[in-house]
Chains A and B, each alone.
Chain A
Amino acid sequence: MRAMADDRRANPANRREMLLQLLRLGGAGAAVGGAGLWLAQRSQRPEEPAAPTVRHSFSIPPDPALPEMAVVQGENHTELVRAAVAALGGIRRFVSPREVVVLKPNVAWDRTPQQGANTSPEVVAEMVKLCWEAGAAKVIVADVSINEPRGCFARSGIGEAARSQGAQVVLPEERRFREVDLGGEVLASWPVFEPFLAADKTINLPAAKHHSLTGASLGIKNWYGILGGPRHRLHQRIHESLADLAGFMRPALTVLDAWRVLLRNGPGGGNLEDVVLKKTVIASTDPVALDAWAAHAYWNLDTGMLPYLEMAAARGLGSARFEDKRVESIQLLDSANLRP
């Protein structure tokens, strides 16, 4: 300190120079600070908009004159689909002219139809035909496969089945997901496959199969296939997330493919011995009742073993008591045997 004071006394020119230097520095500092503040204000990012809350209900108003579930057995795969939909009032009850309909088969695994891990291609093809008959503007077939999607759509036969009937197959590319708030207890903001957000109607086409975590994978579990992101995390609270999904996506109709049922070692399967030919298609306007029926019929699982059913029922999304539903059972005669 003393040395500095001595310097000032010794050289007044230096002192003046130092003051000027300080002023310059102060000015420059103020300019930089001001510019920084201005830039900070200008570059302030707009707040990320919250993911929009979307709930998709395509539920059809109940009709007391019609059954709520149809269980159809027979020898011809496509006739089963047609008969099941007809029993519930016909396709025009579920699809209106000029609608964009998105069909959601299970195309999760790189497996052949015989291995029973995906929906049968015949079910998909027939449902596409029905939608055209109802006057749909566009029919889209989409799923977020677990294995490589192109391979899954090819090996399962679903890609070809859909395209051959004029449907558009949409594969789950990353750019086709949109973050939305699913408004569930476990499922909040989550990326959802866009075709399902833009649909006028959705129709669920699950396969009936065993699942190592839940015991069975049926209609409501099939909605996992509209989600992107790290959906494995949902398996930690699988029943809550299934109930959330049931609330988020309420299809116009669920058509469960039980032509082949993967009874064991699901959901991926692979052993032909685990697949049983049931030659059955079940359609319902109540997705909860349909799952309850199939879980009981094929795995003897009651609702106590599948808590998501009671959770979904408690939220008013359907009834886990399929016994109380109007169920029509149809046995189709083999049309080949009717020929002279």
Chain B
Amino acid sequence: MMKYGAALAALAAALIAGCGGRGTADPFPRDDEASGWKMERQPRVFQADNLWQYIDGDAERYLQVGFDNVRNAAYQYRGRVEAAADVYTMKTPRAAAQVLDAESGLGSQPAALGDGGKVYRASIVFRKGRHLVRLVEYQDVPEGQKALMELAQAIARRLT
């Protein structure tokens, strides 16, 4: 009986750990899955009804085209660079594309990530399927852009 209980608890823990949001696998790489990056705290999830608590004033453009949830994680790269990773899961791939296309890409380069995106000096935004991923670095350091790209690639690999 104890054995079954432990197995059930382990299964539940795995499910919780594996599901940062509704119906999608955990998109966030764990320690050293993206070289040098470590997650600083457990990801947070915001749904349509509380998205404003995360991005008040900016939420409407996601909600208007069809938003499901956003997961946010904080990362640190070798103790020198901090970054925020947001994975917006939209209702459809088209909705993800609409948000990305509506953003000005002035000063950016095209990103070979997922279904396309934009690379800036200290930030990256790309989409894959119905996911829109936004990575922002807080320190503008020489090795930052390359490191951020590695984190973006690791997230892209995890997204289905």
Whether B106 contacts A273 by the Cβ 8 Å rule is yes
Complex CA distance for A217 and B57, rounded to whole angstroms: 10
* Across-interface contacts of B54 in A (CB, < 8 A): 146-147
Give the residue among B57, B61, B122 with the most A Cβ atoms within 10 A.
B57
Q: Is the CB of B61 within 8 A of A212?
A: yes
Q: Mark A270-282, 1 if CB is under 8 A from B, else 0.
A: 1111100000000
* A213 interface neighbour in B57, B123, B136, Cβ under 8 Å: B57
Distance between Cα atoms of A271 and B117 in the complex (Å): 13
The residues of A that contact B136 with a CB separation of less than 8 Å are: 111, 115, 270-271
B107 touches which of A108, A212, A230, A274 (Cβ 8 Å): A274
User: Which of B55, B58, B138 neighbours the largest number of chain A CB atoms within 10 Å of its CB?
Assistant: B58
A296 on interface, CB distance cutoff 8 Å: no
Residues of B43-59 whose CB lies within 8 A of A: 52-59
A31 to chain B, nearest CB (A): 50
Q: What does DSSP make chain A's interface, helix, strand, loop or mixed?
A: loop
Contacts of A217 in B (CB 8 A): 57
Whether the Cβ atoms of B120 and A272 lie closer than 8 Å is yes
Contacts of B103 in A (CB 8 A): 264-265
Which residue of A is nearest B108, CB measured?
Answer: A273
User: A97-122, CB under 8 A of B: which get 1 and which 0?
Assistant: 00000000000101110110000000
Indicate whether A272 sits within 8 Å of B140 (C-beta atoms), given known contacts A146-B54, A230-B52, A232-B52: yes
With a cutoff of 8 Å between Cβ atoms, the chain A residues found around residue B120 in the complex are 271-273
**In the complex, what distance in Å separates the CA atom of A269 from the CA atom of B147?**
21
Q: Report yes or no: B59 in contact with A232, Cβ–Cβ below 8 A.
A: yes
Give the contacts of B93-144 with A (CB-CB under 8 A): 103-104, 106-108, 120-123, 134, 136, 138-140
Q: List 6 A-B contacts (CB under 8 A).
A: A224-B56, A224-B57, A264-B103, A270-B136, A272-B121, A273-B107
In the A-B complex, the 6 residue pairs with the smallest Cβ-Cβ separation, listed nearest first, are A273-B107, A232-B52, A270-B136, A264-B104, A271-B120, A146-B56
- With A231-B52, A231-B56, A273-B121 known, 18 other A-B pairs at CB within 8 A are A111-B138, A112-B138, A146-B54, A155-B138, A224-B56, A232-B52, A232-B56, A235-B57, A235-B59, A264-B104, A264-B106, A268-B57, A270-B123, A270-B136, A271-B107, A271-B121, A271-B122, A272-B120
